[in-house]
Amino acid sequence: MLAKGVVHDTWPQALIAREAEFPTGIMLEQHAIAIPHCEAIHAKSSAIYLLRPTNKVHFQQADDDNDVEVSLVIALIVENPQQQLKLLRCLFGKLQQPDIVETLITLPETQLKEYFTKYVLDSDE
């Protein structure tokens, strides 16, 4: 993200600090995900990164002190705080659907962006 010029050099540390104070791990019906993000001042341009680690990554759950093994990380980089809140609400709604989460985790890399855009970001369902 730094190399692509999407974030300021303050972003990595700001993300770590925010994650320590406000964890983003979420245990869903079948999988755990995380949606790390930080304040908009650290963004140069908006972007969403979908990361599917080879080995599950530990994140602290948002609603308690337990860790979850995350299969999907949706890293948000948003320039506008109002846009960030709207995006988080959209994601929370869509990620309650187990079929969407399963598809995001298993879909071939070449189809991931199109699926995420169509069924998560642009869908009015």
Which of the residues are catalytic? 37
Residues 6+ apart with CB under 8 A from 38: 11, 14, 15, 17, 18
Amino acid of residue 65: D
Amino acid of residue 120: V
Tokens of 109: 């890399």
DSSP string, 104-122: HHHS-HHHHHHHIIIIIIS
DSSP letter at 55?
Answer: S
